[in-house]
Structure 1
């Protein structure tokens, strides 16, 4: 009974030995060659090109010129233009409103009369001065004769040949002549002051005359440029006061819109400017000459209007990080044919496309080929590579690549799932 387990050991040991011998002497697993067929994919060969960056923006139109007619005189409105109604177009230089000019015509007539009176007084003073000068010359001659007679009479009186009464009479005549000469000299001495007073009165009256003429001119309102009336606050027989707003209107020669372009987008628009261009040049002139702009109303994007960058506003929007670009549209009412083609009126919402200076030798790929910072590339041996790249911006369905790709690389256009590096590909070249 005790020997039974021991009898089983020899067969077990024999079996183990046989198994070890079979394992050690057997061949390894056969290597099965990869027989998976290559995956056909569309590829695009990378080439550099010159592109013009594009930026889109939106905004509301406004008139480039506005006219606010304010009453400068007081009076009753006696006439206004028949087209002086909101929405009407009025040419430049058109008389649109008149205030009663009667009071100002009377003031003008009074000022003209006062001026004529002072001019007549000045002429009279000149004549008086001339006459006084001639009389003074005569009186001086008479004084000389009187003094000579007095001297002769005194000699005769001293010799006893003439009475003292005769000498006294000659002395009285001399004194009278001296008094007359002194009075005439004083009269001539006052002439300059009288002339100055008349000149001052004439100047004051001339100023009053000019004010009267200006006030009379201000009774008529004339349009400074071609415009579209937006508001009228004066009707016939209504009395207006200085400072009262009578008419508001928008110019129709040009329109403006402020487009807020992201700083990065604006930098791309002007990134290829010459190195010598300063910030002042860019703010003043360069955008207008380097950026092309096309405008379309949001209500009808099929309408295109040529536009131009006229200036940049003074300050950037730091919160939104945008550049306020002022775009000008010439002749916004030209070719208008409502409802087929609407004019560009204030407050109309528009879309603007900015096309900047060309970027040279840029590598771009279809936007759909970029997958989380990597691009699938068909390598030289037609096997799949996952290439990390750096993308800068995208436009019109393509992405600009700054690093990671070179000319001649073949970018896979199709979506491969799963994308396993090293898998065999059958590239099929596709034109852009």
Structure 2
């Protein structure tokens, strides 16, 4: 019996060990569930996005654009030999780079042949004039002879009448009448010949006058050719390459040298059409038509022009004036050429500071339009097409439609839709959610920079 009892106790003990641990674990779980506390509720807070902002100022805007171009002489003289001949004298200053005053005799072509031609034609004219004087004397002689012949005719006709009366009385023979009548006819013939000769005098005079006129034209041409043997500077200039020397034989049409006027130079700057358009106010753009004269176009633009030449150690500036627009648009760059004129580029020389402005120099050109007062400006990056983003009084983002009128450098001018002092968001707010909270970070350096650019105090970039 004892072994059976022991076996039963062991079986019960094993079953109890299987049941008790799960019961204990279940009790612990129940206790934990009943003794735990509920979750703490936290009120949600809106997070503000940090962004750079500026207050839009109103400034006296000076529209400016930058272009580049090469300097060229306003007046260029290409000296060409107009007559042929040997060079007999050359001025010692006839060298490349020399400054020459107006009227300076630079070279002389041998004038001997042209002087002979002038003398020959002068002699021809003198001969023709002598023949005209001879014709005048001949005319006077013919007039006197005609008068005598007419008197002789009168006497002959009177004598013929008397003889006819005698013939009627049969006092003289018929042959005497015939001889007297023949004498009358000869007198009439002489008178007719004189009258014909006198009638031809005007035609002979016209022929002589025409000959004198032709000789006079030839004389003037010969005198011009003689004058052309001397080559003088037509204006104050600076010589370019010289291609002649003393003793050289020149042919008509041969290029001798080039010279560039020193009274003024031109700079042909290249600008995009939208750059030039930005210099005009809305009122002036309406007046801009294709049939405007150059004078009205100059008045319309009314530009202040500065030409700059930079080197590693210095910068030179020349005031210039708007002269004209070129006739066409560059087909490659789609730019318009604006020709600017600088007067007296040599008299404005400052040694070590401003050199002479000579052809071939590559310069920058700044065009300034008249100031536009009280113009609202914003950073260029703040404008997104036809709108920008501003902050309201609660520091929340709002979308504001605007009308930009000018984009220049780092700023844009706003024509409509924005009041001065409005806080404008400069940073990119993408994604831009209307009404989202903004942490404003004022960019004082940016607003200072665009203000100086707009008022013309900072250097403009292309």
Q: Is the 8 A contact 2:78 2:259 kept in 1?
A: yes
Q: 1:152 to 1:375 in 2, by over 3 A?
A: closer
Q: Is the 8 A contact 2:53 2:440 kept in 1?
A: no
Q: 1:377 to 1:290 in 2, by over 3 A?
A: same
Question: Do residues 331 (structure 1) and 344 (structure 2) align?
Answer: yes
Give 1:162 shift.
2.2
Q: Is the 8 A contact 1:272 1:359 kept in 2?
A: no
SS in 2 for 1:249: strand
Give 1:253 shift.
0.9
The equivalent residue for 2:375 is 362
Give 1:123 shift.
1.4
Q: Measure, in 2, the Cα distance between the counterparts of 1:102 and 1:387.
A: 90
Q: Measure, in 2, the Cα distance between the counterparts of 1:208 and 1:283.
A: 43
Question: Do residues 125 (structure 1) and 135 (structure 2) align?
Answer: yes
SS in 2 for 1:174: helix
Question: Do residues 88 (structure 1) and 87 (structure 2) align?
Answer: no
Counterpart of 1:106 (choices 113, 116, 141) is 116
The equivalent residue for 1:31 is 42
Q: Is the 8 A contact 2:107 2:231 kept in 1?
A: yes
The equivalent residue for 1:345 is 358
Q: 1:143 to 1:361 in 2, by over 3 A?
A: same
Q: Measure, in 1, the Cα distance between the counterparts of 2:278 and 2:80.
A: 46
SS in 1 for 2:291: helix
Gaps of 5+ in 2: 1-10, 449-462
Gaps of 5+ in 1: none
Note the 1:212-231 alignment, pairs <5 A: 212-231=222-241
Q: Measure, in 2, the Cα distance between the counterparts of 1:13 and 1:398.
A: 74
Q: 1:197 to 1:16 in 2, by over 3 A?
A: same
Q: 1:376 to 1:20 in 2, by over 3 A?
A: farther
More deviation, 285-294/243-252:
285-294
Note the 1:4-153 alignment, pairs <5 A: 29-31=40-42, 44-153=54-163
Counterpart of 2:326 (choices 301, 306, 313) is 313
Q: Measure, in 2, the Cα distance between the counterparts of 1:193 and 1:311.
A: 58
More deviation, 44-53/74-83:
44-53
Question: Do residues 162 (structure 1) and 177 (structure 2) align?
Answer: no
More deviation, 155-164/370-379:
370-379
The equivalent residue for 2:292 is 281
Output the TM-score relative to the length of structure 1.
0.84
Output the TM-score relative to the length of structure 2.
0.79
Q: Is the 8 A contact 1:284 1:312 kept in 2?
A: no
More deviation, 65-74/386-395:
386-395
Write out per-residue CA displacement over residues 93-148 of structure 1, whole angstroms, 9 at most, x where no aligned residue: 22222111111111111111111111111111111112101210111111111011
